[in-house]
Amino acid sequence: MVEATYSEVQEHIDRLIGGVRTELDHDTAELGRSAVPGFLSRLLVADLVLANFLFWLVLPDYALYWITASFFLYVVYPFLFLIPSSGQSGGDGAGRTRGSLAERFGGTDLAEYRWTIAKIFWNSFFINSQPLAPAFMIIYSLNILFALLLGEGLIGWLIIFQSAAILLFYLAIAVFKPYTGGFLDSVIGLQTSVSAKMHRRVEPLWKIVLPIGLAAGIVALVLIAAMLLPGFTLGVIWKSEETVSGVGLIPVLFVLASQIILVRYAQGASSSRLVRRLRQRKIEVLTRYVLAPLEAYRNQLLKADPGVLDRFAQDFADIRATFLSSKVYRMQVQDLAGLLPIHVVVPDLELVLNRETIRLLEEQPGSRQIL
């Protein structure tokens, strides 16, 4: 009976090792791929930069065109993610059979795990927002500069406020990286520290609540202004400035197209570096915390070490959670008609909507993350 049990566990471990090695081989191969914008993309970007510089020299209302286009950009840019890619670029979803690994570890009735699922989508949103930070910070810094030069009164101050909110939003993403485990741990640690101080009455209540209230108010103001008000600001400019209506819409659309291409180009370079780091982190985690323990247990099983089955049963949940947490996010490449490729990190819905997977990730919050 014992020999049969050893044999069954060893066969199971061998299958898992094969799956992990397949995943490692894939990610190692993807590290060697290049999704850097090609010659045509670089040439297009250089031409657009030169054209906008020339327009700035000859068009007296160029600053207003730039500002109007920038708020159009903020409204329409997310819809570019919905445009189907050409299919020429690779990624985790290209040419792979994904069902077997999920079935090997594996949904409905997921309401009780909604926080874990929400955290996965939260991470995906912010990690895909980070590569936008460099380009957006340049564009909206120019907005502030142009608004100060134009001296448009209340509209100018609205533009400055709106642009500053967007700048702060993306600067915070670049600095704090809210998709990482360290960020969430710091928030939880702050909450615990505040609760302890309030419980022990270490300080007067107002000294604890006031700073938190001010910080929360600033965060809420920035979030609302950065995510919900750009459309309102665009409407105010559109109604107040006749220069950008009628024939004036033509240069606005040209500047908008230029901004879209420039942002896409910068996003491609930044997202390529980010995804490369994620893949390196994933390879490190899988090699150290999944493959190495599985191979160690397989060797112990071959030697029939006493107590190995009990130790493996205790450690297996954490090993499995680590493996699944490394696969929850898919890294893909999207392009526009074969040009301007960007890397995106999206939740793997096959795993996210698998009740067994989400249950395991929620029960093993200490599993190693790739983010």
Q: What is the pLDDT of residues 286-318, one digit of tens each?
A: 999 999 999 998 888 887 777 888 888 888 888
Q: Which two structure tokens, joined as six digits, stand for 120?
A: 């996965």
pLDDT of residue 65: 95
pLDDT at 18: 92
Residue 168 is assigned to a structural domain of this protein: yes
**Start-end of H helices in 130-180:** 133-150, 154-176
> pTM above the 0.85 mark?
no
Residue type, 120: I
Tell whether 112 is covered by a domain. Answer: yes
Dist CA 307 CA 261 (whole Å)? 61
Give me the pLDDT at residue 164, please. 94
Instruction: Give the integer Cα–Cα distance in Å for 74 and 230.
Output: 7
Looking at the domain assignment, is residue 327 inside a domain?
yes
368 within a domain of the structure (yes/no): no
Please write the tens of the pLDDT for every residue from 159-196: 999 999 999 999 999 988 888 765 555 444 444 554 55
Domain enclosing residue 289, as ranges: 2-363
Residue 31 lies in a domain: yes
**Is residue 369 assigned to a domain?**
no
Domains identified in the chain, total number: 1
> Considering the domain boundaries, does residue 165 fall inside one?
yes
Segments in the chain below pLDDT 50: 1-2, 4, 94-107, 186-191, 194, 198, 206
pLDDT score, position 105: 41
Query: Is 370 a domain residue?
Result: no
Q: What is 7-19 written as a DSSP string?
A: HHHHHHHHHHHHH
DSSP string covering 194-241, please? HHHHHHHT-S-HHHHHHHHHHHHHHHHHHHHHHHTSHHHHHHHHHHH-
234-256 residue pLDDT tens: 888 888 888 888 888 999 999 99
